[in-house]
Chains A and B, each alone.
Chain A
Amino acid sequence: MVRYYLSGNEAIAEGAIRAGCRYYAGYPITPSSEIMERISVRFNEIGGVFIQMEDEIASIGSVIGASWAGAKAMTATSGPGFTLMQETVGYAAMTETPLVVVDVQRAGPGMGQATRVASGDIMQAKWGSSGDYQVIALCPWSVQEAYEQTIKAFNLAEKYRVPVLLLTEEAIGHLRERIDIMKDIELFNRKKKAGAAPFGTKERDGVPPMPTFGEGEKLLVTASTHDSYGFRKTDDPLIHDRLVSRLNEKIINNREKIIDYEKYYLEDAKVVVISYGFTARSSLFTVEAMREEGEKIGMLRLKTLWPFPDGLTRDIGARAKVIFVPEMNKGQVAGEVRKYASCQVVSFTQTNGEVIYPDTIIEQLRRHL
């Protein structure tokens, strides 16, 4: 184990390198730019390909190309750049291209406040592109987890052939903390099988093996509806339905394996805080302080935002009296919690470009206890 003192953005760059990322294309944007800065220096040392592209659209496009050329590839941006990338996130989902997009969220909408924090892109991450598709979205609460989840993002992208989004926030990107880096970390590489269909499986929810350009296989890649060998099939209802269903079910049917979370004091909790990202630091601080005062309060911390932990939320909602969801947006996850929890759900929102401090959460909770 080696111990470092790093910022969240630096840890993401190091996590990507550790995961085997050797291609990065991006366009600088506050508050994510330190990721590309560090990658540009480190790739020089270790031999990766770094390109500063002309914009975010080109960045993610070239990441898709690099992925099909066999590389583990990543780009990083913030809200407005993530918006520009959405069309191509859909392209990646439809072509089952493994890639990682980091969104260091800042205060939006539009250009908003570039140096200020928010968690406003949760729904953009889920619904930003056209049609029905799935992504995986992870959300770290510390510099340590920014490192670990970046590695996990690559593993999941490779395993499920899906775009994986690391939804972090300015407050984590620019936070400096102590992190421990373990020697042994499990890495997953995409499955290959010569001659196998690259876009279809016998199972309704399977993940096909992925060939690489230049290794001798005939390969068509299109985001139009295609059959299992990549031939465009733009008016066959059966093929379209089978493809769209598989793109969704390969994630949804595996959600128990994908979804990660942490439970705190839930055994007897009547009041439950559901929290994620930086805000979960304030939430846990609050929950521990109120526990000491004897309140029956607990917390669920979401480490995975998409796919959403529907079953877990339903279980907690069946036992709790009230669920409290503090967020640096207008209630994006609270709405999701309401879909599954049968108890009262209270949304606390703050969109002033600042983190939510524990005393704010305590004050809000007191009103509902």
Chain B
Amino acid sequence: MAPIKQVILCGFGGQGIVLAGTILSQAAFNDGKWVSGTNSYGAAARGGGCRAEVVISDKPIIFPYVIAADMLIAMYQTAYNKYIARVKPNEGVIIYDEQFTPEETKGLKYVGIPATKTAIEELNKGIAANVVILSAAVEMTGIVTKKSLKSAIEEIIPERLRELNLKAMDIGFRIGKMKSDQIH
């Protein structure tokens, strides 16, 4: 893995984008990495295009925002349209919720994950789709360890929702495993 990994997560405010970003950065922290995170603030975080940025590194991070994303996790069409330009040309990976079909940019890798669909079908909670897609991305890319992702969920998610989110994580790992040949 490259020494610095830059990730943008984006979607519609309310889909849990900020939470997914916080879980990812906490997981990287638990892995002992240097990490910085930032996200949409104010009205955008509660409806409209919403994003979280995470930079993960083996060394101290000088510039803490994403300059060019290695990975874009997109959960909503308009947010994808807004952030696709920030993905590293010819290298970046887009992991998207199959709720929408992205217009593909040449040179980038695309992997669709049925995150919302599976969250509704298996958990009866569409709201858990953020953890499904994040966990699938972790399974496919190894950007953080699965162990640290689990501990981050346990630390961040309140007790009454913990079991639901751990189930969503396992679903994400399962889908990620099935799709991992599409990314390598």
Listed in ascending order, the chain A residues whose CB lies under 8 Å from chain B are: 3, 5, 30-31, 114-115, 142, 170-171, 174-178, 281-282, 284-285, 288, 355, 357-359
Given contacts A177-B61, A359-B67, 12 further A-B contacts (CB under 8 A): A114-B42, A115-B41, A170-B41, A174-B38, A174-B41, A175-B36, A175-B37, A176-B22, A177-B35, A177-B36, A177-B64, A357-B63
Tell me whether A284 and B62 are in contact in the complex, defined as CB-CB below 8 angstroms, given that A175-B37, A176-B37, A178-B29 are known contacts: yes
Q: Which of B1-50 contact A (CB under 8 A)?
A: 22, 25-26, 29, 34-39, 41-43
12 interchain pairs, CB-CB under 8 A: A5-B25, A115-B41, A175-B38, A176-B22, A176-B35, A177-B64, A178-B36, A282-B63, A285-B63, A288-B62, A357-B67, A359-B67
B140 to chain A, nearest CB (A): 24
- Interface: B83 (CB within 8 A): no
Chain B residue total in the interface (Cβ 8 A): 19
CB atoms of A30 and B42 under 8 A apart: yes
- Interface: B110 (CB within 8 A): no
Contacts of B36 in A (CB 8 A): 175-178
Listed in ascending order, the chain B residues whose CB lies under 8 Å from chain A are: 22, 25-26, 29, 34-39, 41-43, 61-65, 67
What is the bound-complex CA distance between A43 and B67, given in angstroms?
A: 38
A265 to chain B, nearest CB (A): 14
CB atoms of B38 and A176 under 8 A apart: yes
What is the bound-complex CA distance between A358 and B63, given in angstroms?
A: 8
CB atoms of A355 and B65 under 8 A apart: yes
CB atoms of B65 and A357 under 8 A apart: yes
Tell me whether A281 and B41 are in contact in the complex, defined as CB-CB below 8 angstroms, given that A5-B25, A178-B34 are known contacts: no
What is the bound-complex CA distance between A281 and B34, given in angstroms?
A: 15
Contacts of B63 in A (CB 8 A): 281-282, 284-285, 357-358
Contacts of B37 in A (CB 8 A): 175-177
**Residue in chain B with minimal CB distance to A113:** B42
Contacts of B61 in A (CB 8 A): 177
What is the bound-complex CA distance between A285 and B66, given in angstroms?
A: 13
Contacts of A281 in B (CB 8 A): 62-64
Q: Which one of B39, B61, B65 has the greatest number of beta carbons of chain A within 10 Å?
A: B65
Q: Which 4 A-B pairs have the closest CB atoms?
A: A115-B42, A176-B37, A285-B63, A5-B29
Q: Which one of B36, B41, B64 has the greatest number of beta carbons of chain A within 10 Å?
A: B64
Contacts of B41 in A (CB 8 A): 31, 115, 170, 174
**Residue in chain B with minimal CB distance to A287:** B62
What is the bound-complex CA distance between A5 and B34, given in angstroms?
A: 10
What is the bound-complex CA distance between A177 and B26, given in angstroms?
A: 10
What is the bound-complex CA distance between A274 and B60, given in angstroms?
A: 21
Contacts of B38 in A (CB 8 A): 171, 174-176
**Residue in chain A with minimal CB distance to B37:** A176
What is the bound-complex CA distance between A36 and B131, given in angstroms?
A: 30
A8 to chain B, nearest CB (A): 10
CB atoms of A176 and B62 under 8 A apart: no
CB atoms of A285 and B25 under 8 A apart: no
A118 to chain B, nearest CB (A): 14
Contacts of B42 in A (CB 8 A): 30, 114-115
Tell me whether A358 and B67 are in contact in the complex, defined as CB-CB below 8 angstroms, given that A31-B41, A115-B42, A178-B34 are known contacts: yes
A315 to chain B, nearest CB (A): 25
**Residue in chain A with minimal CB distance to B40:** A115
Contacts of A30 in B (CB 8 A): 42
What is the bound-complex CA distance between A303 and B62, given in angstroms?
A: 16
**Residue in chain B with minimal CB distance to A281:** B63
B35 to chain A, nearest CB (A): 6
Contacts of B25 in A (CB 8 A): 5, 176
